[in-house]
A and B are shown apart, each in its own frame.
Chain A
Amino acid sequence: MLRVFVLIGFTYLFLHLHATGDISKYINMKYSYISESAIYIFVLFTIISVYNYVKKDKHSHDVACDQCGHDHSHEENSWWKRGLTIITLLIPVITGLILPVATLDSNIVEKKGLYFPAYDEDDEYSQHQFLQPNTSSYYGKEGYAEVMDKGLDKIKNLKEITLGEDNFLNDLETIYNYPGEFMGRQVTITGFSYHEEDLTNNQLFLLRFGIIHCIADAGVFGMLLDIPEEMKADNDQWLQVTGKLETIYYQPFKKTIPILKVTDWKSINQPNDPYVYRQY
């Protein structure tokens, strides 16, 4: 009977997340059909368990099992082991339903931070990964160049580039790949601020978490800002900034990276969807 509760619990958890839309705070919605299909399987499992439970009441349990070849070999016999299984499985159902969904913030940036000392090994190619989306040094050069060229063509002639939610990762990647093309260009970007020891007083990172599949695999992407003196921002303060694109040799990354010289900025509320998602 307790098993039925667990199955109902999981069914309800998945249904609840889909119904409230909170599911997008856990996974990339491109894959929502996968967790949707889980709902159907859970419903099916629940119905069958209830049916079996009711049926079991009618028949003598032992006799029924011997006849139909049910596999009880891996069912724990002791009641406390069974109880432990049920409790363990109920934990995510309960915490998933009652605890509020947290948003990844600078605390996670610090943990995921990816401040690899390995840059020193080969200066020429080393760059900081966590700012720069996707690219690869292992791509077949032509195929990759083609993809990148498309991205470049898309925004090359724009006077102003706005890194919104849909194009954030793609356009950011293009800018990192062709910083020369975008020198002096006006760029608007939204994200949360992040201070880092190596930064000078007039520098700040503006970041967003990019999600591939679920938030366990989220990475941090964004841009270094050169901020005016009067501008102040704490960690995790959401900002929309506009500025001119320049480049800077950034010692900790041992690389020249784009930097946005901020001319306009405003504090904003955290967007409804704080994450950006990888589009194939």
Chain B
Amino acid sequence: MNVETLLQLNTIFISIIIEALPFILIGVLISGIIQIFVSEELIAKIIPKNPILAILSASLVGSIIPACECGIIPITRRLILKGVPVPASIAFMLTGPIINPVVIFSTYVAFGNSWRMVILRSVLALICSILVGLILHKAVKQSPLKNNVIEHIHFHSFKERIDAMFKHSIDEFFSVGKYLVIGSFIAAAVQTFVKTSTLVSIGTGQASSHLVMMGLGFILSLCSQADAFVAASFRNSFSEGSILAFLIFGPMLDIKNTLMLLSTFKAKFVMLLTGVITAIVFLVTIFL
């Protein structure tokens, strides 16, 4: 290890932060807006009573919201606080970063202007998030949030609302921001010190190649807008299924967003969620 290596580590670290921060800022702003301008009553009216329908509709809403895997976490937390059932909120959180215009476009371009991978990625992500939602529906009975103080707010003026909205957004920025910093640092360290080939050499069989690609998706912690290009570079040595596992698992879970999940959810729930997502993505992509 020498100075130059440490500087490279720092440069990659800063670049991940520069890339992710704008999306976090947008995420906390949307969270603030939801907190102040969307009432619990409205949410209760919109979300279907039937839990399965709720999961389905939340996944579909997630697919219209253009958010990345970090920015969506504050939004998800806010939705849970506002009374959206946990399974539905998580389903929303999982589709948001994968199915959105920017990601669809970059996947389309990365895989040689073809719709095949775009459609497979989107449809399988939707299936995975619905399955994860259904399992959570059976498994989770208590609120998984670290803090779930429900506040009932009444404002006197519009200015007060705007004030409170920004106050929330800034609070949220500080509570998730530090986890982004730590996660980005770990991801940058992995990129600087760990040879990708070491990881890849672990798995060349069918099942192990899926696990390896999911592991890569996790540790590389790429933004979902860019990961398709990296995935495309693996296409010659990895099967289509394992590349899809990378493309679906990476945006759902990676180093930086796992740390952010820990800032929001109880550790036990994060472990459960990690296990469920890993199993579902693995099973769905391996039987492709």
Say yes or no: A26 contacts B236, CB within 8 Å: no
The answer to whether the Cβ of A200 comes within 8 Å of any Cβ in the partner chain is: no
Contact mask for chain A residues 87-106; partner B; CB cutoff 8 A; 1 contact, 0 none: 01101100110011111110
Give complex CA distance A103, B5 in Å.
10
Chain A hits for B166, CB < 8 A: 44-45, 48
The answer to whether the Cβ of B182 comes within 8 Å of any Cβ in the partner chain is: yes
The answer to whether the Cβ of B8 comes within 8 Å of any Cβ in the partner chain is: yes
Contact of A88 among B181, B188, B236 (CB under 8 A): B181
CB contact list, B212-257 vs A, under 8 A: 220-223, 225-227, 229-230, 232-238, 240, 243
The answer to whether the Cβ of A240 comes within 8 Å of any Cβ in the partner chain is: no
CB contact list, A28-56 vs B, under 8 A: 31, 34-35, 37-38, 41-42, 44-45, 48-49, 52
Chain A hits for B169, CB < 8 A: 45
Chain B hits for A126, CB < 8 A: 236-237
The answer to whether the Cβ of A111 comes within 8 Å of any Cβ in the partner chain is: yes
The answer to whether the Cβ of B138 comes within 8 Å of any Cβ in the partner chain is: no
**B interface majority secondary structure:** helix
Say yes or no: B229 contacts A3, CB within 8 Å: no
Contact mask for chain B residues 146-167; partner A; CB cutoff 8 A; 1 contact, 0 none: 1111011111000010011011
If the complex has contacts A69-B151, A88-B178, A95-B10, are A212 and B116 also in contact, measured as CB distance less than 8 A? Answer: no
If the complex has contacts A68-B160, A88-B182, A92-B13, are A35 and B195 also in contact, measured as CB distance less than 8 A? Answer: no
The answer to whether the Cβ of A110 comes within 8 Å of any Cβ in the partner chain is: yes
If the complex has contacts A3-B170, A117-B200, are A74 and B147 also in contact, measured as CB distance less than 8 A? Answer: yes
The answer to whether the Cβ of A70 comes within 8 Å of any Cβ in the partner chain is: yes
CB contact list, B1-47 vs A, under 8 A: 4-5, 7-8, 10-19, 21-23, 25-26, 29, 35
Closest to B153 in A: A69
Chain A hits for B240, CB < 8 A: 138
Chain A hits for B19, CB < 8 A: 26-27, 31, 35, 213-214, 216
Chain A hits for B10, CB < 8 A: 95-96, 99, 102
The answer to whether the Cβ of A239 comes within 8 Å of any Cβ in the partner chain is: no
Chain B hits for A125, CB < 8 A: 236
If the complex has contacts A117-B200, A138-B240, A216-B19, are A280 and B188 also in contact, measured as CB distance less than 8 A? Answer: no
Query: How many of chain A's residues have a CB under 8 angstroms from any CB in B?
Result: 84
CB contact list, B80-122 vs A, under 8 A: 109-117
Give complex CA distance A144, B115 in Å.
11
Chain A hits for B227, CB < 8 A: 217
Chain B hits for A113, CB < 8 A: 195-197
Say yes or no: B164 contacts A70, CB within 8 Å: yes
The answer to whether the Cβ of A21 comes within 8 Å of any Cβ in the partner chain is: no
Contact of A118 among B15, B110, B238 (CB under 8 A): B238
Say yes or no: B18 contacts A111, CB within 8 Å: no
Say yes or no: B237 contacts A139, CB within 8 Å: no
Say yes or no: A75 contacts B167, CB within 8 Å: no
CB contact list, A213-236 vs B, under 8 A: 213-217, 219
Say yes or no: A136 contacts B235, CB within 8 Å: yes
If the complex has contacts A114-B197, A217-B222, are A49 and B170 also in contact, measured as CB distance less than 8 A? Answer: yes
If the complex has contacts A74-B175, A219-B233, are A37 and B22 also in contact, measured as CB distance less than 8 A? Answer: yes
Shortest beta-carbon contacts, A-B, top 3: A139-B112, A213-B226, A102-B7
User: Can you offer 24 A-B residue contacts whose CB atoms are under 8 A?
Assistant: A69-B164, A71-B151, A85-B177, A91-B181, A96-B14, A102-B10, A108-B191, A114-B197, A117-B204, A134-B110, A135-B232, A136-B111, A137-B235, A138-B112, A138-B243, A139-B113, A140-B113, A140-B114, A214-B18, A215-B15, A216-B16, A216-B222, A217-B227, A217-B230
